[in-house]
Amino acid sequence: MDTFADENLQQPSAMLKLISFWIGQSNTLPFLYIDEFAATRAILSLLSKSSEAKEAVTITVLDFTINALERKDNEIDEKYFTLLAFVVDSLLQYLPQTIEMIYNKDVGSRAIKVLLLLISGKYIEDHDTKSSLIKSLTIALEKNNNQIDLDDKANILVSLSSLIDEYDCEFHEIQPLYEICSKLLKMFAARNVRETLVVVINTLGNKFKQIEPIAPIIAGLNAYSDRMSEYDFEKRLEAYRLVNEELYTELTPIQWLPLLYCALFFINDRDELVIRVNAGYILKRFVDCYSSKEEPKEYIRLLKDIVLPNLKIGIRKDNEDVQTEYILVLEHIIEHSKYYTDLDDMRVLVGNTRNAATDDDDDEDGEDNFFQSINHIQLHRRQKVIRKLRDYKDDLKDNSISHYILPIIEGYVTTKEDKLRNIGLEALETIGVLLKSVTWNQYKAIVKRYIANLNKAQDTLKQRVNLIVAVSSALAQSVKENNTNLPDQQELDQFVLYEISPPLLKILQVRDDETIVARAPLAEALTNFMLLMRSRSEELRDAVRKTLGKIAVSLGPNYLSFIFKELKTALSRGSQIHVLSFTVHYLLTCVATILKHSDLDDCYTSKMKEVKFKKSFDTAEIVASNVSLNQFGTIIEPIKMLLQEMISHKTQVKLDELLRRLSLGLNHNQEASNIEILHLCYEIYMMSKENDDDDNETNGKPKVSAKEQHFLTTLDRKVKKRVDKSLYKQTMQRLSFELLRTAISRHDNLMSVTNLQGFIPLLEEGVKSENETVITASLKILNIIIRLPFPDQGIFKACARRTLILIKDSPSTNSDICQAALKFLATTIRHNPEVTMKESAISYVLTRIQPDLEEPNKQGLAFNFLKAVVSQHIMIPEIYDLMDNVAKLMIVNHSKEIRDMSRSVYFQFLMEYDQGKGRLEKQFKYLVSNLTYPTEEGRQSIMELIHLIVVKAGKDLLNKLASSFFVSLANVLVSDVSSRCREMASSLITTILKKLDDTSSMEKYCLAWIKQSTNSLLKRCGLNIYKLIIMARGFGKNKELDKIALDNILNIIEASRNSKDDDEEERSMPSTSTSGGGGDVEWELVYACLSTFSSIASILKIEYLNIAKFGMELLIFYYFLILGLD
């Protein structure tokens, strides 16, 4: 119990749940009294670590305390009072801390319920405890509704009212609670919460003179009639009259606090005009109050901290009536505030109506007053005052524009009403003008807010987009005019690249025909922003390239040629060529997912001058995947020209990579599934013979003898350099074969004798080539098409002979050509019986691949060839010799893949090849003897093979093998250290029992083992085997075996129970004995008995009450014994 709290911090343990359960049941309650209330102390100790404990743990502990506090009086005895004292003492000490740490609704609900129970039970009497609880509950009231439910907050207020009523303190000690209750008057609209808030404020008013005058007024402002949710207008209007006409000049800042929050709440009332207007009038009276004071410092603090922040939010309201009330309050502050002068710059918007009388009718009507006219019923007055704002842009401060003017007029830009459309256009133009006068940070905040608003209602998307265009134009004009508010160029670039472009491009790229018209003007905004990017940094190039890629995706592939043309014009010399190459590749990568077939036909030119650049490989792959096949010759034409020249090895490597990427691109070409791809492959191969014709022409000239040559004069000054044409020929042949292999392997419709008959002579020529890459490519194709029923199999026989020569000539089987040859031979043996091979040839290959069976990088092909030979039942001595090695690999090899393949081949060999009586017995003895192999993986591999034999073998063979398998597997079942091996042995024995008709011999073994009195290991083995027998064949098949098994189970359990009573002292002492307690009876034997009995009971569905009772006692005994040892 000393470490109980630390062990239960993360989640409730079974012991914690059990102790919590005890408190709710009368028959388990005494367990909590044991050992001087040890369990009670342990669970209550978790309260001291509530800051570290998880919510589930805290909930369990609080449920325990709730059950303890709610228990009825007739169930309480003297010891329970002591337990209750522990509970109450812990709660009073740690409940405040728990309440402060509430972040979960369930925890909050239970903590508040505990507090109410403590208050109702009058357990809270100590002054310090009340003080601590009040502070904690005050903090809890500030938590949001996701942490503490609204109803729980009402209960908190009820608790506070009860605590405060009997709490003796000074006002400054309770002032934080008063301020929070005042703030909640602005936040909550629920009637029950507001009424409980009034109760708390009334309670405070009865105790403290500072707020005594205001308490009844707050009650009046929040009065409700007897009808559900209806205001008591008589009381409310009387409260408003008292404040607005009599008391407003006499109220102190502390008394104004709840009044301001009430006013800020009721000014948002859309339905009740009289409530809304009076609430606004209270705010105006507050301005009049501090303006008449000589020391307004505390009043100004309330204005800045409470009124103005809510005013900034209120002037953004969608409801015009509510917004108008806020605007009138703002006007009153600007016009009548004596000591707060931060808004004096906006007095120019009030006009002259308040300052001097005039005969001008317009002035008498207040038409020049922005605040009076902005929501006036006459629409032309609204439009006029918005237009006049531009004249005052130099008089207004940046804070006034960003925090007050723009929020008021921007609502007209996004309005849905047609009658306000002209006003919205006027407001849009005015916003663009006023934004030139704000600071850079304010501008960034405004732009981000406008962009974020683009995700709002789609019906105003067009207007919000126009707003973005206006602010972007304002920035562009500010740059041209060298506005002093702008930062340096780098900061401008960073803002545009990382904060403006990404969200705008994301919105612009949405494929939605219904909103594209509304979103189209965003391109103009992006253009205005991009004019600012004059930096030559690499970061800027990357950003511009990224933006260009997104634009290319938006425009589609039809415009790629125009983009490439403009890029080529802009990037035409020097290092710009590299930028052009990289940018072209990037654009192709961007549009690759939306390209359709032949979209790039117009974009490709006939000169590969960028072949030396790495990005050109990717570009070539993209082009090949989209170009029409009839245009592919244009792509490889410059490659052919290069191949006919003397080129360096470095260039040759790059050309090989380029050809590989072209092949990959053609794999994804839409036309790759058509017959034209085969025509292309054939034409490419024929291209390789073009130089042969030239050579023949040269060779056709009349030869000149040496004597004649002596008298001839060569007029050519330069002798033409002879170029080796073999590279061209080999490269084109390899390209042809690689394209053909990919096409037929990916598209089954091309795999037919008719389509591929014409390639047979070419493949025969390729196999006889002197170039290894051409031979390898040919063999790979032959490996695929050998399954087809060609009428003439002569080529395949010739190729097989050629393949054997290649294998013999190859110094290692690891080379590409040798592996391709082995794969071809394996496929030929397996799938083409018409191509026969000499046994000597197969023997040679088997001998050659024998070392490869153990090497992971070679084993695949080696096993593939071996499986092909075994599948065709080719009877040669080398097979038997090789299988002995395979049998060892199946057990000793550390690689699971090699063991699996070895087991598969060996099983097929064992089942299908003629073994002879002596050899077959030897093989099975080998399996049985290796069930004790030292490594777990080896034993598992043997048992997996035995499982295959048991499942596939006939009954006659299984009857012969069953006994030896059974005894060996029983040994594994009882003595193997690996649980996985024991499980496999159990499963195998069960399979054998189910498949055999007669299991009498196994039952005899089982009977003999159970009768053992001196060897507990054999007895346990017998019980485990008996369990498998009854699970496989049912109970009652062998009466004698059943009786002896049950008698032994009863005797062992009874002996274990008796020895348990004799070993009370040993349980509390550390023990290292292997028996694990329980006297002379080993725990493994007891466990085997209980497991076997459980199987019997599950089969018979009967009640062995005594045995079940003994078994449960033993299980509980061993459980607590293990806990004691730990």
- Mind listing the pLDDT tens digit for each residue in 732-748? 888 888 888 888 888 88
SS (H, E, C) 490-502: HHHHHHHHHHHHH
* Alpha-carbon span 315 to 163, nearest angstrom: 40
* Alpha-carbon span 241 to 235, nearest angstrom: 10
Percentage of the chain lying above the pLDDT 70 cut:
82
According to the model, what pLDDT value does residue 274 have? 92
- Structure-token match 């290649």, residue found: 806
In sign, the C-alpha dihedral spanning 492, 498, 504, 505 is: positive
Convert the pLDDT of each residue in 184-205 to its tens digit.
888 888 888 888 889 989 988 8
Tell me: pLDDT of 353 over 50.
Answer: no
* Alpha-carbon span 513 to 553, nearest angstrom: 16
Asked if residues 561 and 598 have their Cβ atoms less than 8 Å apart, the reply is no
Tell me: pLDDT of 294 over 80.
Answer: yes
Asked if residues 348 and 397 have their Cβ atoms less than 8 Å apart, the reply is no
Highest-confidence segment of 452-461, 514-523, 578-587, 919-928: 919-928
- Structure-token match 């093998």, residue found: 961
Which three-class secondary structure state does DSSP give residue 536?
coil
Question: Which pTM was predicted?
Answer: 0.50
According to the model, what pLDDT value does residue 1083 have? 79
Percentage of the chain lying above the pLDDT 90 cut:
9
Which three-class secondary structure state does DSSP give residue 224?
strand
Convert the pLDDT of each residue in 111-157 to its tens digit.
888 888 877 777 777 777 778 888 888 888 777 777 787 787 888 88
According to the model, what pLDDT value does residue 697 have? 45
According to the model, what pLDDT value does residue 1105 have? 46
Q: How far is CA 1025 from the centre of its chain?
A: 48
Q: What is the pLDDT averaged over residues 1018-1027?
A: 86
Asked if residues 560 and 591 have their Cβ atoms less than 8 Å apart, the reply is yes
Residue 697: burial class (beta carbons within 10 Å; 0-12, 13-18, 19+): exposed
Amino acid at 370: F
Tell me: pLDDT of 591 over 80.
Answer: no
Label residue 792 by pLDDT band (50, 70, 90): confident
Label residue 526 by pLDDT band (50, 70, 90): low
According to the model, what pLDDT value does residue 711 have? 67
Asked if residues 964 and 924 have their Cβ atoms less than 8 Å apart, the reply is yes
Tell me: pLDDT of 358 over 50.
Answer: no
Kindly provide the residue ranges of all beta strands, DSSP E only, lying in 779-935, ordered along the sequence. none
Which of 527-536, 810-819, 919-928, 1006-1015 has the weakest average pLDDT?
527-536
SS (H, E, C) 682-744: HHHHHHCCHHHHHHHHHHCCCCCCHHHHHCCCCCCCCCCCCCCCHHHHHHHHHHHHHHHHHHH
* 537: Cα within 13 Å, side-chain hemisphere: 10
Tell me: pLDDT of 216 over 60.
Answer: yes
Convert the pLDDT of each residue in 1056-1076 to its tens digit.
777 655 555 455 444 433 344
According to the model, what pLDDT value does residue 1059 have? 65
**439: alpha, beta or left? (left if phi > 0; alpha if psi -120 to 50):** beta
Asked if residues 386 and 412 have their Cβ atoms less than 8 Å apart, the reply is yes
Better pLDDT: 493 or 972:
972
Q: In sequence order, which residues have a C-beta less than 8 Å from that of residue 503 and are 6 or more positions away?
A: 451, 454
Label residue 941 by pLDDT band (50, 70, 90): very high
Asked if residues 969 and 919 have their Cβ atoms less than 8 Å apart, the reply is no
Which of 254-263, 327-336, 414-423 has the weakest average pLDDT?
414-423
Better pLDDT: 303 or 491:
303
**Whole-number Cα distances in Å, 69 to 37, 553, 893:** 17, 69, 68
* Alpha-carbon span 18 to 10, nearest angstrom: 17
Going by C-alpha positions, the residue among 197, 268, 275 that lies closest to residue 230 is: 275
According to the model, what pLDDT value does residue 1012 have? 81
Boundaries of every domain in the chain: 915-998, 999-1126
Mean pLDDT of the chain: 79
Which three-class secondary structure state does DSSP give residue 932?
helix
Q: What is the pLDDT averaged over residues 438-444?
A: 88
Asked if residues 450 and 467 have their Cβ atoms less than 8 Å apart, the reply is yes
Q: Which residues is 231 bridged to in the sheet?
A: 224
Q: In sequence order, which residues have a C-beta less than 8 Å from that of residue 1121 and are 6 or more positions away?
A: 1067, 1076, 1077, 1078
Convert the pLDDT of each residue in 603-640 to its tens digit.
544 333 333 345 567 777 777 777 787 777 777 777 77
